Structure 1
Amino acid sequence: MEITFLGTSSAVHSYTRNHPGIILKAFGEVMLFDCGESTQRQLIYAKISPMKISKIFISHYHGDHILGLPGLLQSLNFRGREKPLTIYGPKGLKKVENAIYSLGYCKFDFPIEFIEISSGTILETDEYILKSQEVMHNVTNLAYSIEEKKKPRFLRNKAIELGVPVGPLFGKLHNGEEVEVNGKIIKPEQVLGDARKGIKITYSGDTRPCEEMIEFAKNSTLLIHESTYTLEDDDKARENFHSTSQDAATIAKCSNTKRLVLTHISTRYTDTEDLLKEAKKVFENVEVADDLMTIEILSA
């Protein structure tokens, strides 16, 4: 899996930070989480073709998370997109859809589906499961997670002992199918090891620290969590329903997360050293995201 941060600022742009947007390349797909203003320009800098995006997930409808969407969609149309695009978001997405179609002379020649969602499983394929969870903000906000479905190890020697010939039957057993060998049925559980945990990536959107976020992020390989303020501005974090870097670190620690990346940084901090130091006091494996930073996570 590969994650690219297109924008890492909070409500206001800065010289070095764009509005929120995260690209995930995984399972042969390109997915976009949030679409702040200038997202399509950031895609150019990141050398990622917007034409390859198959799905867009919106956490909530504050402007810094959605104002890049109308322009991105119109640009896709200008470039001759034909492939369908699906956009997911919390209740209120239909109003956003209507607003987009009302902007200027707006016309799309490719299929776009807007799907309103709530907490729960959004998508499940043979390769991954993608979920959402409402967390604590001053408007409805959904956190998202995507988890790899990892097959148990195939016990080759055990299969051979049971008389399974080397070849296509190995693949069928590994995929969970029973096979017949010399009149005897061999079941997958006879030749498969213990269940294995796949990569899990969790994105908070905007939120105050809450039990729902801890539970949702449980056992994440990577947690991308908003970190708008330092402890010095904790009163502003509470007032605006955001998190401090220490809050994010506490979520990571309590959820047994392996790695934490802080994003959604207020423009009041031109130097993020204090954000990082405060987080490290609670959770060591943490870094602050920068625009166009890319992280690759390899399956074990």
Structure 2
Amino acid sequence: MDFELKILGSSSATPSFDRHHTAQVLTIGNQINLLDCGEGTQMQLMRYKVKHQRICNIFISHLHGDHYFGLAGLLSTMHLQQRTTPINLFGPKGLAEILTLQFKYGGTQLPYKVNFFEVDTTVSRKIYEDKTMTVHTLPMLHRVPCCGYLFREKEKPRHLLKNKLPSFLTPAQLVRLKWGEDIYNEAGEVVVQNADVTTDPKRSRSYAYCADTRYKEDILPLVQGVDLLYHEATFDNSLLHRADFTFHSTAEQAATLAHKAQVKRLLIGHFSARYKELNLLLEEAQAVFPNTMLATEGKTISVLE
């Protein structure tokens, strides 16, 4: 099953010539999730051949324009292209009001249902669950209420060894074996031992999206050991005072968090438009956490099982 992240935008407050506002697509199996929706997201979805009508969930981190100004346009385009399937929208207080006013004064009536879930950006809480994954909020420290999102695959079933399965097993017993149980007879005796007929499941994967924030160590337990961590790195460390004043982070700070959390890979983004070249930020982060990548547009990162 796919577990794949695609970067659509990686610029901070203002777009630059070759960088758009923040937006990412996380594909888990056949489900497409959109993380933030800055200006130009529609164009980026088309550019990188992501079918926006297949988006199931949209997660907005906060109400600074570079993270949601593309949302009304995207929802409108889905309407014009005759979307009928519902979509789930997660975001902070105020987002539903903003969209309602935009559609009201634009005379837009969406033909599909938008299920809006207001998130509490101050706590880590499970906000979504389906057959394959869970999503928790990650509290950020920014100038306005802001949260990140943690995606985790659920535990996967064990693999049945077909050539070792007794022929008398029922479908219900096969299901129990997949989930690690032994099979007992009516006398309470083990007749099929799970370890004899199954192998370990493929591992479950995880992605943590840390949106705009100051350096914030209290999230370390929440993102400990994740497969892929995205963390904003708006400035290099020579502008630490600027990062602190604007409630952002430096590349070194992002890498320090990744190192302390013992994540497998770090992805940095949300770059200030002052940086025409990004090597300075990459090198600064890699000096602390070598397995760091830039969130350059069009980059696709797969997490293997």
Give the letter for the 1:113 counterpart: N
Unaligned runs of 5+ in 1: none
Preserved contact between residue 123 and residue 129 of structure 1 (Cα < 8 Å): yes
Structure 2 Cα separation of the partners of residues 71 and 216 of structure 1: 33
Give the letter for the 1:20 counterpart: T
1:37-48 matches, cutoff 5 A: 37-48=39-50
Secondary structure of the structure 2 residue equivalent to 1:102:
helix
Cα deviation 1:19-49 (Å, max 9, x = unaligned): 0000011032000000000100100001011
| TM-score relative to the length of structure 2 | 0.89
1:1-300 matches, cutoff 5 A: 1-118=3-120, 119-151=124-156, 153-154=158-159, 156=161, 168=171, 169-175=173-179, 179-180=183-184, 190-191=194-195, 198-299=204-305
Preserved contact between residue 161 and residue 199 of structure 2 (Cα < 8 Å): no
Structure 2 Cα separation of the partners of residues 128 and 63 of structure 1: 29
Change (3 A) 1:133 1:237: same
The worse-fitting range, judged by mean Cα deviation, of 100-109 and 64-73 is 100-109
Give the letter for the 2:55 counterpart: I
Secondary structure of the structure 2 residue equivalent to 1:34:
strand
Structure 2 Cα separation of the partners of residues 126 and 177 of structure 1: 20
Structure 2 Cα separation of the partners of residues 211 and 189 of structure 1: 44
Structure 1 Cα separation of the partners of residues 182 and 193 of structure 2: 9
Change (3 A) 1:25 1:186: farther
Once the 2 structures are TM-superposed, how far is the Cα of residue 97 of structure 1 from its aligned partner? 3.0
Structure 2 Cα separation of the partners of residues 104 and 289 of structure 1: 35
The worse-fitting range, judged by mean Cα deviation, of 118-127 and 42-51 is 118-127
Once the 2 structures are TM-superposed, how far is the Cα of residue 149 of structure 1 from its aligned partner? 1.7
Preserved contact between residue 135 and residue 212 of structure 1 (Cα < 8 Å): no
Preserved contact between residue 140 and residue 146 of structure 2 (Cα < 8 Å): yes
Structure 2 Cα separation of the partners of residues 224 and 61 of structure 1: 19
The worse-fitting range, judged by mean Cα deviation, of 273-282 and 117-126 is 117-126
The worse-fitting range, judged by mean Cα deviation, of 210-219 and 267-276 is 210-219
Secondary structure of the structure 1 residue equivalent to 2:21:
coil
Preserved contact between residue 173 and residue 187 of structure 1 (Cα < 8 Å): no
Identity %: 33
Cα deviation 1:227-274 (Å, max 9, x = unaligned): 100011111100100000001001101111000011101110011111
Number of aligned residue pairs: 297
Structure 2 Cα separation of the partners of residues 32 and 104 of structure 1: 24
Unaligned runs of 5+ in 2: none
Structure 2 Cα separation of the partners of residues 113 and 105 of structure 1: 20
| TM-score relative to the length of structure 1 | 0.90
